[in-house]
Structure 1
């Protein structure tokens, strides 16, 4: 891969990270505004969503707390997706050592999300 192509891929990755952070901040801010305006999290008592599916369901129901958590989920997922994009970049560069290393890191991240449990 030529030097210009590498710089272009780095710009794409940095823009991807920036967009992920901005989208996350926007969604979190919208959820916060909803919380302030309504004065309610959208949930009764001390019951809150703890799984990504429940969080997304609550966000689609426009529950302010779930909207905030959706923004935070996007913030958490953004660098993980960046690792996935890096695998593709290294494959295009034919840098197979880094493809293997980055793939290993990506698998560890995915396993940590699957095995992680919030109670």
Structure 2
């Protein structure tokens, strides 16, 4: 028969590991996006402009086409997109963590938060 203290200690250690993973995801996401934005800024000064006459690219296809063409504004927008994506990834990891802890209420709540985030991003993308 499993010991309650052992189960609680194991659950605490698993929760601690998930918190460490979430912390790493946030750090890596922010650092990566900052590096990408800095590369875009350096490209801006090297190229002498952003590569667009009407401002920053707003569609994913335009961003990726701009990156392929070496346009600095597209690289900066990629960095901003990565920064926006970082907390979304954190929510996904949180859903998994709550599922592993058998905390169904928080799985549902966090899934609703993820759906709201995705909906808001899609609505922002459309406009």
The two structures share one fold, judged by TM-score above 0.5: yes
Structure 2 counterpart of 1:78: 86
Q: Which runs of 5+ in 1 are unaligned?
A: none
- The TM-score, its normalising length taken from structure 1, stands at 0.92
Q: Which runs of 5+ in 2 are unaligned?
A: 1-9
1:82, 1:53 → 2: CA distance?
25
Shift of 1:102: 0.2
Equivalences for residues 1-119 of structure 1 within 5 A: 2-43=11-52, 45-46=53-54, 48-117=56-125
- The TM-score, its normalising length taken from structure 2, stands at 0.86
Q: Is residue 90–residue 96 contact of structure 1 (8 Å, CA) maintained in 2?
A: yes
Shift of 1:53: 2.6
Q: Is residue 16–residue 82 contact of structure 1 (8 Å, CA) maintained in 2?
A: yes
Secondary structure in 1 aligned to 2:78?
helix
CA RMSD of aligned residues (A): 1.5
Deviation per CA, 1:59-97: give whole Å up to 9, x if none: 232210100110011001110111111101110111000
Q: Structure 1 runs of 4+ off > 6 angstroms? A: none
- Higher-Rg structure is 2
1:85, 1:114 → 2: CA distance?
21
Q: May I ask how many residue pairs the two structures share in their alignment?
A: 118
1:104, 1:58 → 2: CA distance?
34
